[in-house]
Amino acid sequence: MKQGRHICNTLKAIRKQIAETNDIHYEPRECHHEGDCAGTCPACEAEVRYLEGELSKRRRLGRAVSLVGISAGLAALQGCGLFRVFQPTAGIPVMPPEQQAKQQLVAADSTEEMQVMDKPPIITTDSIRPVTNDEKVLDGIVEEMPRFPGGGDEALMEYMKKNIRYPDECVQGRVIVSFTIEKDGSISGAKVIKSVSQEADKEALRLVNNMPKWIPGKQLGEPVRTKYTIPVVFRLE
Amino acid sequence: MKAPLIAIARHRLSVDGDGVTTLVAFHGCPLRCRYCLNRQCWEPEGIWRWATPEELAEELMKDNLYFLATGGGVCLGGGEPLLYSDFIVQFCQLCPKEWHVYLESSLNVPTERLEAVIPCVHHYYIDVKDMNPDIYHRYTGGDIAPLLENLRFLADRQLQERVTLRLPFIPDYNTDADRQHSQQQLEALGFTNFDRFDYIVSKKS
């Protein structure tokens, strides 16, 4: 899935969650925007304005509105794999509009796509790019990101839900685990980069290390080793 | 007051901070890094647009729902955002208090510019490059002294938890041993969050 479409779907899921939490009637429509929407096409923007209007109405009527943090876990999980974007400078690679057309011709060099307000999507970059060799682990976005087998992000969420064993201790929070997806899809080098507690960390590592083989990332059509980061969310019902 | 921008990038998912964030990239940088990806931030024609703090806040408000729902906010990068610390302070005063503000900086600026934004910034991503003054100068063209002074400034105020330090392996400029040495120096200052990664350089550069 292209990154823009992935973002579009994630934002739609956030909108849905806002609507459900606040009892707002909302039927997200399939985004038919041509090209890579990234949640910025007029139809998607209109849905945000609709929700804002509905929330305002509820506030005016003195009804409680829940918003802060309600989709925190969703954004983190949906963003998995985008955690580490190749950033060799203080900023992220951006491109002036006049260079965009040229850059789109060298999309194989791109490490990231960006959306600039009121401008067409930008594809970067020309001076630095991932290279493929046996040893290198690509630390960021590759042309074809690795996918969890049987349905990508949704299947990964399902796997987590089914297999997570809550530690005995009362614990809530997100353990962030980073790992490498090898060229054959196997997992290696899993480590906790944001800890919640010893028990929760242990369980998060167990889940990651027991995952089935992934569909590996590809660069120039060839499988590559890719670094990946996912949050494992512990939430008490 | 207006600041020059090279881009505004919306809907970034857990890329530069938690949740959905918008990146605001400022024009201008005191460094000239050999492998810089955003060279337009050095060039006068690289300015995409100018904005007042009010205009910027208003523009970013269109993603307020996403920021609030996901615990996201705004990432100020560039270029070097701290060249516009007064602008940043004014801008942050206009933002909803729930927004998280992330700053990506080389810290190669006078300390008063960093000091001004401390009340506004929730987390700092600092591009250290390398702690060896010679390597730093060879790679960035700049003097490492302001960076060191600003790192000590953050450490003196016990802000280490709110700082992530980027330590790249830079082909032809440093080695993994240099990077390890940099990390040790920074650990001695009490910093604990490190982002180690490799620059991958194409033949074209």
Convert the pLDDT of each residue in B119-150 to its tens digit: 999 999 999 999 999 999 999 999 999 999 99
Q: What percent of chain A has pLDDT over 90?
A: 12
Residue B88 CB partners (closer than 8 Å, separation 6+): B76, B81, B82, B103, B116, B117, B120
Own/partner pairs, A51-56, CB within 8 angstroms, 24+ separation: A51/A15, A51/A18, A51/A19, A51/A24, A51/A26, A51/B65, A52/B64, A52/B65, A54/A19, A54/A22, A54/A24, A55/A18, A55/A22, A55/A24, A55/B65
Residues of chain A found within 8 Å of residue B33, distances taken between Cβ atoms: 88-89
A116 touches B: beta carbon within 8 Å: yes
A71 and B104 within 8 Å at the Cβ level: the answer is: no
Q: What are phi and psi of B46, to 5 degrees?
A: -80, -10
Q: Where are the domains of chain B?
A: 3-198
Task: Using pLDDT thresholds of 50, 70 and 90, give the confidence band for residue A76.
Answer: low
In angstroms, the Cα distances linking A226 to A56, A135, B92 are: 44, 11, 37
By mean pLDDT, which of A68-82, A100-114, B50-64 is the weakest? A100-114
> Using the beta-carbon criterion (under 8 Å), do A72 and B198 form an inter-chain contact?
no
Share of chain A above pLDDT 70, in %: 62
Contact of A84 with chain B, judged by CB distance below 8 Å, is answered with: yes
ipTM comes to 0.82
Q: Which residues of chain B have pLDDT under 50?
A: 205
pLDDT at A106: 26
Please give the C-alpha separations between residue B63 and each of A56, A124, B60, in angstroms, as whole numbers.
Answer: 15, 23, 6
User: What local confidence, expressed as pLDDT, does residue A75 receive?
Assistant: 55
pLDDT digits (tens, 9 = 90+) for A184-225: 999 999 988 778 888 888 999 999 999 999 999 887 788 888
Q: Is the pLDDT of residue A113 over 60?
A: no
Distance from A126 to chain B by nearest Cα, in Å?
A: 8
Q: What pLDDT was estimated at residue A110?
A: 29
May I ask the CATH architecture of the domain B3-198?
A: Alpha-Beta Barrel (3.20)
pTM summary value? 0.65
> A137: which 2 tokens?
């682990």
* Residue B25 φ then ψ, to 5°: -105, 120
pLDDT at A86: 29
